[in-house]
Amino acid sequence: MTAPFGERFAAALAERGQFCVGIDPHAGLLHEWGLDDTVEGLEKFALTAVEAVAPYCSVVKPQSAFYERFGSRGIAVLERVIAESRAAGALVLLDVKRGDIGSTSQAYAEAYLDPASPLASDAITTSPYLGFGSLVPFIEVARINGAGLFVLAATSNKEGPEVQEAVTSDDFGGRTVASAMLDHLRELNRGAQPVGSFGAVVGATIDGGFYDFASSPINGPILAPGYGEQGGTAADIVRIFGASAHNVVASSSRGVLRLGPDAVAMRGAVDRANDELRSLLG
């Protein structure tokens, strides 16, 4: 077993800062780089981005869908993105948002978290909306392999509140669904040092106030998408997470990638983001 993900996450943020780059090869970005929307264009784009940012940021987050759309050859590129990012010292958070039940969850977990798989990553995103208990296979495989999970809780998309701000029945605590997910994570991470391996996805652009991260910290990693070009700032991270802000990794994709294929410009964006986050988060 490798060291638990939470331990490696804390060390990565301390060494490389709290900024995560999403390596998301949108067709529009490929065209902006002067590349064709083909597997060859995908490979050039993704591996150039990895070379530019993975040695300098704590976490990279490839979105699997943009590779899957090219079929098996696109998945082969994703495998290289994962391997080369990890070789450069970055943690890889594979954005797959998987959520199912029973043996299907087990198979997904083994595909992405078992070191024997060519897609094995340090952590993945998961969806708990078949019930938090449906994530048990992911949790067990993650524990065995020292991997991590980032569970969708309060996302920044406009459709999210329909589900995430709904209130559960008294049998389930009469709290919002998002709060229930965070409470489950707090229990999973109880007593972990320096931080647990089971994290949450909470948007950097949400209103906040739905959960008291100060009095009930989840003691786990937090992914805050929406930072930068989508409007989220370091001040928002302090506002939303308070004393838990030191466990947040803020994520941006387009704000960095559209500076390519200039590797120096992309690295500069990573440095500026880390400096901004460090100035407010410490």
Strands 222-225 and 248-252: parallel
Of 158, 110, 101, nearest in space to 132 by CA: 101
97 is catalytic: yes
Q: Which residue has the tokens 């990693």?
A: 221
Of 102, 120, 92, 117, nearest in space to 22 by CA: 92
From 44, 61, 97, 158, active-site residue: 97
Cα angle 109, 111, 114 (rounded to 5 degrees) comes to 75
The whole-angstrom separation of Cα 193 and Cα 64 is 30
Give me Rg for the CA atoms of the chain.
18
Q: Are 194 and 3 in contact (CB under 8 A)?
A: no
The whole-angstrom separation of Cα 261 and Cα 229 is 18
Q: Which two tokens stand for residue 117?
A: 């798989």
CA torsion sign, 24 to 124 to 252 to 87? negative
Q: How many residues does the chain have?
A: 282
> Residues with catalytic annotation?
97
